Structure 1
């Protein structure tokens, strides 16, 4: 996206938004209500047309392409709208099957197999014959996600996937997005207000505020940022630049500053955001996420530009993530060994499982083989790193981390 500006009449929504979503990574877009995050998603798929700027997908600028080209480009997308956007007169099954019937020539038995797999994936087995009006908002949201995934899209846009869901279902949906990224290396953009999702799911985070993109880059950069608007949003505190209306009145800001100085609470969480919570990992048996090495290489390139406290927090988070990945790898190997022993005992003539046959065989057993990742294909443009006068310049040592092997020699 380059120089995007969008307005409705005289009301400017956002202006000059420029960023690149790294291919194959999970990104999140934050911002107060009413800052145009949903409008941004609709602009990315050509439902809304910007006054200025470009949206370039796979080399095609969708703001200038023909309707036929746009129709083809949209096949790359899976979109989960904020309200589900289901057809009210169709059953959940037919809603989820709709993209397959529209864009493929699959037979009905093939469609049924795919649809039922996605229905089971989002926990709606048994509800496929119900109409959208007969189920809860959370169930409609999960049906919308199943429809978004039914074509195994390369790009997945999720507009507040947690709205209408309880915390447990939110955790399952978040884990599902990470697993999908591991399986098909999909590029995912999540619009959310859920700070727990923002801290644990994406590789990259952006924030819209007062009609502009405040920041976009690796999650570690935003989570350790000292920008007042970022810190206030993450903590959920009423004291700061964000008000009930987008532009906080000066008198209100002064009164709140006085209350804060007097020790009165602004109602926000007091969590220590200098500690970066480890990112959610794919479930055991899933492939290693290819995005991990690309993301790590980019963070290491910019690490010396960040303040010392941010550098230390990032180093600690990397060490913890390496430990968790090593544990997951060991668990997967143990599962394979147990499965092989059980089958051998059951009479396979003593034949050993191969890594391809064994339970969990999709898991990359060479993920930590020490192969070096070059990072040559990782996009690095449009990453905004705050400059710090006191940024450390010494070389950064990260211990024995060995990036995952992606199977193509990198």
Structure 2
């Protein structure tokens, strides 16, 4: 089975002549929930863009499964990119499409499936995030939390090997944030080999879901390890993050993917 760990090797990244990330050396283990934590402007989102391949490093490397993603051919990178799902901070839903149509986009753009199968696939993942009854609603008819849950449904519809989440609890009230954390845990439980990476500044969320932690301050790594090791650290900057209490979390349910969709999806992922 192919490993889907993510590693940063002496990574420097930024924009033009401005360096945001400096000498990042860290590993996000395969099949685990890794949380990248840090304050606003520390470089978390820049690191996420590197993983997705949206911008190239100034120097160093981003490795996925032992391969430097920026050394891959265009075809090889596209094949790897198909194995990634992304939950954007604002959900990134298209206002002219219904929820079901938005969620089905990753399938409709790449697979020749009937409208009935596309809708069935969309309803399956909408059910997983508690939005099946809102399938025909438009994004402007939904709350911020519902749009994020819909974005999560779209990110997992292809059953990716890597799920990347940018500030999934940002802007949510504590109860809604707790539900989002529960959904992320639920996804990881049912897709056990999925490498889940969450960019966040939310300590309560980290405590609820993290199995591995990477903390960034001013563009540099100041901690990488388990939540237990983080809690035991005497680093003053870490202690600043460790003063909040965690909340109670819940779970959701999973429905297997349709066999016809699975067959088409497998063919696409292998092509």
TM-score interval for Structure 1 and Structure 2 normalised by the shorter chain = 0.7 to 0.9
Give me the whole-angstrom Cα distance separating, in 2, the residues matched to 1:132 and 1:94. Answer: 11
| TM-score normalised over the length of structure 2 | 0.83
The reply on whether 1:188 has 2:196 as its aligned counterpart is yes
Residues 20 and 280 (structure 1), Cα distance of their counterparts in 2 relative to 1, 3 Å cut: farther
The reply on whether 1:227 has 2:258 as its aligned counterpart is no
Alignment of 1:25-104 (within 5 A): 25-104=32-111
Structure number with bigger Rg: 1
Note the residue ranges of structure 1 that are not aligned, 5 or more in a row.
236-268, 272-276, 287-410
Note the residue ranges of structure 2 that are not aligned, 5 or more in a row.
1-7, 256-271
Give me the whole-angstrom Cα distance separating, in 2, the residues matched to 1:285 and 1:52. Answer: 41
Structure 1 residue 173: Cα displacement: 1.9
After superposition, give the CA deviation of every residue in 1:327-352 in whole Å (9 maximum; x if it has no partner).
xxxxxxxxxxxxxxxxxxxxxxxxxx
Residue aligning to 2:126: 119
- Between 1:63-72 and 1:104-113, the stretch displaced more is 104-113
Q: What SS is found at the alignment partner of 2:82?
A: helix
Identify the match of residue 133 of structure 1 among 133, 140, 144.
140
Question: How well do the aligned residues superpose, as a CA RMSD in angstroms?
Answer: 2.5
Give me the whole-angstrom Cα distance separating, in 1, the residues matched to 2:9 and 2:137. Answer: 43
Q: Are the aligned partners of 2:33 and 2:211 in contact in 1 as well (CA < 8 Å)?
A: yes
Give the number of the structure with larger relative contact order, counting CA–CA contacts within 8 Å between residues 6 or more apart.
2
Q: Are the aligned partners of 1:199 and 1:279 in contact in 2 as well (CA < 8 Å)?
A: no
Q: Are the aligned partners of 1:17 and 1:213 in contact in 2 as well (CA < 8 Å)?
A: yes
Bigger fraction of residues in strand: 2
| TM-score normalised over the length of structure 1 | 0.56
Alignment of 1:306-385 (within 5 A): none
- Between 1:131-140 and 1:9-18, the stretch displaced more is 131-140
The reply on whether 1:15 has 2:22 as its aligned counterpart is yes
Q: What SS is found at the alignment partner of 1:19?
A: strand
Identify the match of residue 219 of structure 2 among 208, 211, 218.
211
Residue aligning to 1:176: 183
Structure 1 residue 159: Cα displacement: 0.8
